[in-house]
């Protein structure tokens, strides 16, 4: 049987990841070690036992499962390890640029100073850039369950810190319990501070959630946005305003946002002119990779190599990098051999 040349192209193709939660990238061996060190109840001994924790039926169950593991990142050295391993894996996928979400409030609540947390992550990012040639920036993950006051205070602290690693803020969590309207104040503060803004919307709820993210929170990017397809006027607006959607096929499938990959509207968005990108969301939890997401899109929708490359380039256009930096990154998006990563 002849090898599919497009799969080889996908493996070699430089990629961009804009929707990746640090806490969803914990390597299995690291997760097991952290949980056993912290004497977690029923701490797993094997990868198979760990994967049983990630057995969920909906978004609420998923959030709980994720916390069971990620709550064991309790020290600065844990953060350094998780972040460094995340960046190494991204480099293995030939990711050239990455914007990762980090739930900073989680670590502040454990008593870690904000400046120390950001410094540790920044050192890991700089080391990875030297070692792998990967450029990474952070989007601060604002958790809906914390409410408007707590998230607003965090945004104020971030603005005061004014660290170059941080390029924006993003709102995540269960849309059904914590609607966009509850965070108008938080996002007004972020906007005033000049922070870029993205919002999880159109995942658990329909198109109105996306409209609310755009009109109430002035989001410049939408994480998921899958159910925007239900509103033709919204799709036209996304095209006209070139509002990016950071789509995650496996995540949407596992969380029952779509019933089958071929029913996912990704290809419809792409061919309609929506600025869509492919991402992993929480790769260790969903057992996927960025290369795997491109392979899935190729098999499900029959994209050509040129179209797959356009999707990757969309990631640079949808990024929170300054315009000049985007231009430089686009010049670096020429295919390279996998061996180039392995040399480092």
DSSP string for 111-164: T--HHHHHHHHHHHHHHHHHHH--EEEEEEEEEGGGHHHHHHHHHHHHHHH--T
Q: How many CB atoms are located within 10 Å of the residue 109 CB?
A: 11
CA distance 123 to 344: 18
SS3 content of the chain, % helix, strand, coil (to 5): 55, 15, 30
CA distance 21 to 86: 10
Out of 23, 203, 293, 295, which one is annotated catalytic? 203
- Give the three-class secondary structure for 300: helix
Is position 203 annotated as part of the catalytic site?
yes
- Give the three-class secondary structure for 204: coil
The burial class, CB within 10 Å (0-12 / 13-18 / 19+), for 155 is: buried
The residues annotated as belonging to the active site are 203
């Amino acid at each position: 049987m002849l090898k599919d040349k497009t799969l080889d192209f996908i493996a070699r193709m430089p990629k961009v990841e804009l929707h990746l939660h640090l806490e969803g990238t914990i390597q299995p061996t690291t997760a097991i070690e952290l949980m056993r060190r912290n004497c977690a109840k029923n701490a797993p001994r094997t990868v198979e036992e760990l994967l049983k924790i990630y057995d969920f039926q909906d978004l609420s169950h998923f959030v709980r499962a994720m916390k069971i593991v990620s709550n064991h990142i309790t020290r600065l050295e844990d953060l350094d390890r998780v972040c460094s391993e995340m960046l190494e894996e991204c480099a293995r996928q030939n990711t050239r640029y990455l914007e990762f979400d980090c739930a900073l409030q989680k670590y502040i609540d454990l008593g870690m100073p904000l400046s120390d947390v950001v410094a540790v992550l920044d050192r890991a990012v700089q080391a990875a850039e030297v070692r792998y040639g990967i450029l990474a920036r952070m989007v601060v993950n604002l958790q809906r369950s914390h409410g408007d006051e707590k998230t607003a205070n965090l945004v104020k602290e971030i603005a005061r810190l004014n660290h170059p690693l941080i390029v924006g803020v993003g709102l995540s969590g269960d849309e059904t319990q914590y609607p966009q309207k509850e965070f108008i104040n938080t996002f007004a503060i972020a906007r005033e501070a000049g922070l870029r803004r993205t919002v999880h919307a159109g995942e658990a709820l329909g198109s109105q959630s996306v409209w609310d993210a755009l009109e109430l929170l002035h989001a410049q990017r939408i994480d998921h946005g899958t159910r925007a397809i239900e509103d033709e006027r919204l799709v036209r607006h996304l095209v006209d305003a070139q509002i990016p959607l950071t789509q995650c096929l496996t995540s949407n499938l596992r969380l029952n946002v779509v019933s089958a990959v071929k029913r996912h509207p990704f290809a419809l968005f792409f061919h309609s002119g929506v600025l869509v990108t492919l991402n992993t969301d929480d790769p260790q939890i969903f057992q996927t990779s960025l290369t795997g997401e491109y392979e899935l899109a190729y098999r499900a929708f029959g994209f050509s190599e040129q179209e797959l490359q356009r999707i990757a380039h969309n990631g640079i256009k949808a990024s929170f990098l300054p315009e000049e930096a985007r231009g430089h990154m686009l010049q670096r998006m020429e295919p390279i051999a996998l061996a180039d990563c392995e040399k480092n």
